[in-house]
Structure 1
Amino acid sequence: MDIKPTPTPAGADKQRRPRHDLRSRPRGALRITGIGTIVRFLVVLFLAAIVFLPVYVSYVSAFTPNGEMARSGIVPNPAHVTLANFRAAATAVPLLREYVVSIGVVTLQTVGQLLTGALAAYALVFPRWRGRRIAFGLVLVTLAIPGETIVIPNYELVGSIGLRNTILGVVIPYLAAGYPIFLLRQAFAAVPVEIWEAARLDGAGDIRALFTIIIPTCRPQVTNAVIWSALAAWNGFFWPLLITDTAAARTIQVGISQLAASEAGSPSVIFAGAVLVVVPTMLLVIFAQRFLINGLTRGVLR
């Protein structure tokens, strides 16, 4: 009597195959994988220490007397923590006034670059007109021009209109920049044109469509442009140094350079002034980190 084998259901052989989990791997492979993970962790820890050590030294030196780290080592005595360095820095140079001037420069320059960048990007994307590709190419060309090459023309222009040694004189040459235009243009180009057409059919003008439809849709990229403009304005040094003569229009970056040449310019006092400069940028990046990540990853996974 012949006994026919029972047919195996489709896919049963796949289910019977052993799963390739960690338990099925050789012990040597597990050991190599664990060593690789440890090595990567140590490398990242070493690189983080290289980056963090100068920041740590700056902050510790700012809050301790001059030469404290040389006497007590890298971990200072908590009893020696003081705010005298900050008071000395504010007394030697009018840092508080220059701080306020820097905030005003950052506000005006950031708002100006955001407005001009958004308007230019909108004009380069949505309205159909001849020559917009050429115009966008000219914007890209401006990114390759070193800023030092236009310092003399800007200086003569600002001086001819009587704005030398003023906050407006510091801001006017930088009310428009190529990078925010490029960044916003790329963001606006990713918006479906049907949204813009629907807004236009609904009766919205160009300004209303831009500020109520396009910009809210591209909020992460707009935030990136704002952060870039704010950091560039805050860290500006050469142009404010060149166009100003008194503390009434000088920014905090110029004040720190003068602090190093003052009588109170000991290392701890200079570190205290540097901490005052770095804190706003650190807070800006920390609070805007979510928008930075969204702006960098937006459109990657589609």
Structure 2
Amino acid sequence: MNRRRITPGSVLRWVWLTVVVVVVVFPVYVTVVTALLPEGDVAAGRLVPVPSRLTLDNVRAALDSAPLARQYLVSVGATAVQAGAQLVTAALAAYALVFPRWRGRGLAFALVLATLAFPGESLVIPNFETVSGLGLRDSLLGIVVPYLAAGYAVFLLRQAFLALPREVWEAARLDGCGELRALLHVVLPMARPQLITAAMWCALSAWNGYFWPLLITDSPQRRTIQVGLAQLVVDQATTPAVIYAGTLLVLLPTLLLVLFGQRFLVRGLAARVTT
């Protein structure tokens, strides 16, 4: 029976991976456990909290002290609309940049890449003036309108489509498939791991947005959960367990998304990329 030989290099790799896992998992563990501990146990100030007694009182207190439930719905709606729109526009743009032959395709892709060079903060004032002029301030549409398309999602799907066999698309076109049908029934099924990776990136980016929702909304009921969490930190500065409970509410969707989509995420990021 062949046994894998243990070398100093493999030991160092395992030690390094263990350290990385601990560094990544430890803050999540502290957040989850502290959010469910009674306030008295949190006040003890342990570096590593021990889940001896668990309660949902902190979660209830966080929901009662701020309109987090309403803000949660706003965040879910904004994430669904923004991520869905970005995925649709990215798929259409990437398809147009890869399969049809047309003059100026390289220039169009260069313009898409150029959008990645501009920091988001530089576009805040024009976006604010535009959204306010459309009468969408302090609304769900006002939160998502400036972000209905994303250059990085276009880049990611373009690179994925480039790795697909062009002959399959040409065969579909010869069989009478239109452009939209070829995209939906031929291209996207073959690029499903990268499509799911792009969808996860769009969803996480939308969910974690903070500055723009804070700027474009005025009433607490129309703000996202991230803005509500910042206000919760101010209002509950003397009760850290309640703050951890609010943080847990924000953390759960992203944590579940990564856990259930990690298989597609790894396949999408590890896929061969061509230029």
Tell me the TM-score normalised to structure 2 length. 0.91
Match of 1:108 in 2: 81
Match of 2:133 in 1: 160
Mark the CA change 1:68 to 1:216 in structure 2 (over 3 Å): closer, same or farther: same
Match of 1:5 in 2: none
Match of 1:82 in 2: 55
Give SS of 1:176's match. Answer: coil
Match of 2:35 in 1: 62
Q: Which runs of 5+ in 2 are unaligned?
A: none
C-alpha separation in 1, matches of 2:247 and 2:72: 12
Match of 1:45 in 2: 18
Contact kept in structure 2, 1:63 and 1:272, CA below 8 Å: yes
Mark the CA change 1:44 to 1:120 in structure 2 (over 3 Å): closer, same or farther: closer
1:241 aligns with 2:214: yes
C-alpha separation in 1, matches of 2:254 and 2:126: 30
Deviations, residues 71-105 of structure 1 (Å, cap 9, x unaligned) = 38434362x32111101100111111111111101
**Residue type of the alignment partner of 1:92:** S
Contact kept in structure 2, 1:85 and 1:269, CA below 8 Å: yes
Deviations, residues 236-269 of structure 1 (Å, cap 9, x unaligned) = 0000000001133211100100101115762110
Aligned sequence identity (%): 54
Contact kept in structure 2, 1:69 and 1:76, CA below 8 Å: no
Contact kept in structure 1, 2:67 and 2:221, CA below 8 Å: no
**Is 290-299 or 64-73 further displaced after alignment?**
64-73
Match of 2:239 in 1: 266
Q: CA deviation at 1:51?
A: 2.7
Match of 1:135 in 2: 108
Q: Which runs of 5+ in 1 are unaligned?
A: 1-20, 23-29
Question: Highest Rg: 1 or 2?
Answer: 1
Match of 1:147 in 2: 120
Mark the CA change 1:259 to 1:297 in structure 2 (over 3 Å): closer, same or farther: same
Mark the CA change 1:259 to 1:75 in structure 2 (over 3 Å): closer, same or farther: closer
Q: CA deviation at 1:49?
A: 2.5
Q: CA deviation at 1:37?
A: 4.7
Mark the CA change 1:265 to 1:167 in structure 2 (over 3 Å): closer, same or farther: farther
Contact kept in structure 2, 1:93 and 1:259, CA below 8 Å: yes
C-alpha separation in 1, matches of 2:33 and 2:135: 44
Match of 2:69 in 1: 96
Mark the CA change 1:47 to 1:214 in structure 2 (over 3 Å): closer, same or farther: closer
C-alpha separation in 1, matches of 2:238 and 2:215: 22
**Residue type of the alignment partner of 2:115:** T
Q: CA deviation at 1:69?
A: 4.3
Match of 2:261 in 1: 288
C-alpha separation in 1, matches of 2:9 and 2:133: 64
Q: CA deviation at 1:55?
A: 1.9
Mark the CA change 1:290 to 1:40 in structure 2 (over 3 Å): closer, same or farther: closer
Pairwise CA RMSD of aligned residues? 2.0
